[in-house]
Structures are given as C-alpha cells and as structure tokens.
Amino acid sequence: MSKIKVAIIGPGNIGTDLMIKVIRLAKNLEMCAMVGIDPNSDGLARAQRMGYVTTHKGIDGLLNLPEWKDIKIIFDATSAKAHAYNWGVVQQYPDKRIIDLTPAAIGPFLVPPVNFDATHNVKNVNMVTCGGQATIPMVAAVNRVAKVHYGEIVASIASKSAGPGTRANIDEFTETTAHAIEQVGGAEKGKAIIILNPAEPPVIMRDTVFTLSEQADKAAIVDSVHKMVSQVQQYVPGYTLHQEIQFDDIPEDKPVFIEGLGKRYGLKTTILLQVEGAGHYLPAYAGNLDIMTSAAMATADQFAQESLLTT
C-alpha cells in the first residue's frame, strides 16, 4: 500500500517524538526527512541512525534534497517566528501542506475531534497549543449542548516538560489558546493560563476547564463531554477525566462580571482532566507534548488517507 511521505522541521523533543509516532503508529504516512539548524542536534543524529535523510540547513536545505519532490506533508515543530519563514517557502508548492505545531497561528486552528472536517483543502493548519488540544474539545462539548458565554482553561504541566521553545512562546501560548477557545471551542470569550509546576518527581499534565453557558440539561452536558473524551482517546489513550464533572448555577439576580462581555448568568461547568503521555520517546508525565504530537500525527494521517483515496 502506498503512503504519503512526510518531513519534520525541528529535531527537538517534539519533533523526535513525532518521528517515533509516525514510524510506529501512522497508517498512511512514511517518514522521510528530519530537518534542523544545528549539525550536532541529537534529534538529527537519531533520525540519521534510523536511516532517514537529514539536513542541518533548515527548510532551505530540505529544498535541495532529492526527496523534496516526493514529500507532501511537512510538520513544523520549530517556533512561531521560524514558522513564518518556513510557511513562506512551503506555500510556493501547491502539492504540499504544512502542519504547524508552533503558536504562530498563520493557518486556521485545528483540533481533530472538533473541526477537522472544515480543513480538508487548507494548506497550513495550526495545532493551537498543548493546552488547547487538551481543553478545547471540552469547551466544544459543552457548547454543542448550551451556548458557552465564557471559557477559561488552566493548563498545569511539569516544568521539566517545558523546553526552551515552550518557554520562549509563553505569551503566544496564552493568546493563541484564548483565540482558539473562541474560534474552535465556540465560546464568546476565552482565556488561557499556563502553570509550569517545578514539583519533583514531575507531575502529569492536568487541565481545568471552566465554562459559563446558558442553562441546560446537566445530564446532556455530561453525556456530551464523555463522548468527546472517547473521541480524543482514539489518538491520545492517556486522556481522561480526573474527577466527575461539577456544576454550579449562577442565578440571574447574582450574575458574574466577565471582562469584555459584561454581566452573565447561567450554568458554570467545571471539567478536570489528566493527560498521560504514551512514552514513545518522551516521559509519560509529558502529556502536554504527547497530545500535540499525537494530534498532529492523527491529522496528517487523515489528510494522507483522503489524499490516497482521491489518487
């Protein structure tokens, strides 16, 4: 069976874990090239040992490889700034598409179980952030039962799982996630907070999702949330509810003030999540990185399947 060849730009922890996932789990993808800018990169060395073509000259080096003509999907696991340059190159090639794992948000946001169907012909999709991939499905799950006025997420990750790229993009993380809560999750107003927990031993990723929505059948919300959890678990098995869903009624005569929206009342829903990584390359506590690479690979695999079906 033919497969779609892929390249990964960024041989750090995320890029390396993504490579392992493509090799072990992908049904329609074939690992082809790993791209970096440091000739001494551990990720490049690992890819080379595994028999894949590498270059330390960035995307410009990738263009000069004979394999470039056959590569159809490029994963970008660099930085928001670098992605802008990389996309400027890739968009010149109509037969190629890029999956952005940075907070650049040049292309539309994509959270697989929520809005994959809206991205069939898009050449650049953005995977939001780790916090976004974990929590936006929950906001969307509530929103499909009752209109969400406000969605707030708090992502707590092990400090050890936050590399220099994550730390350099903290501002972009909060801004990108907040926008995606609105654009993909369906909330009128979104807010995102990230916590780097220095605890030893490192803690597993935990996420708290708060929504304030119109009043609705609580059992219907619980059912919607559990169905969405099952959908995410298809590509992130370690994605689970940490506790039962909690509800609080906000009465009309005691509304809460939300900046940018004014006073709102309705149903407050609290969803507590845990994301344990699969341990393919990264430690299990790094669920924040694992959910990004898993979502990106699942997206590319589906894109590849559609491409193969039409050729």
Tell me the C-alpha to C-alpha distance, in Å, between residue 9 and each of 4, 92, 162, 163, 215. Answer: 16, 17, 19, 16, 46
- The DSSP bridge pattern shows strands 148-158 and 189-197 to be parallel
Concerning whether 32 is annotated as a catalytic residue, the answer is no
Query: Which among 9, 29, 114, 130 is annotated as catalytic?
Result: 130
Look at residues 13, 5, 23 and name the one whose alpha carbon lies nearest to residue 78: 13
Look at residues 214, 306, 195 and name the one whose alpha carbon lies nearest to residue 268: 214
Cβ(213)–Cβ(148) under 8 Å?
A: yes
> Residues with Cβ < 8 Å from 33, sequence gap 6 or more?
7, 8, 52, 53, 54, 55, 62, 65, 67, 71
Amino acid letter for position 176: T
> Residues with Cβ < 8 Å from 206, sequence gap 6 or more?
156, 242, 272, 273, 274, 275
Give Cα 12 to chain centroid, integer Å.
16
Tell me the C-alpha to C-alpha distance, in Å, between residue 199 and each of 208, 237, 238. Answer: 18, 24, 21
Could you list the active site residues?
Answer: 130
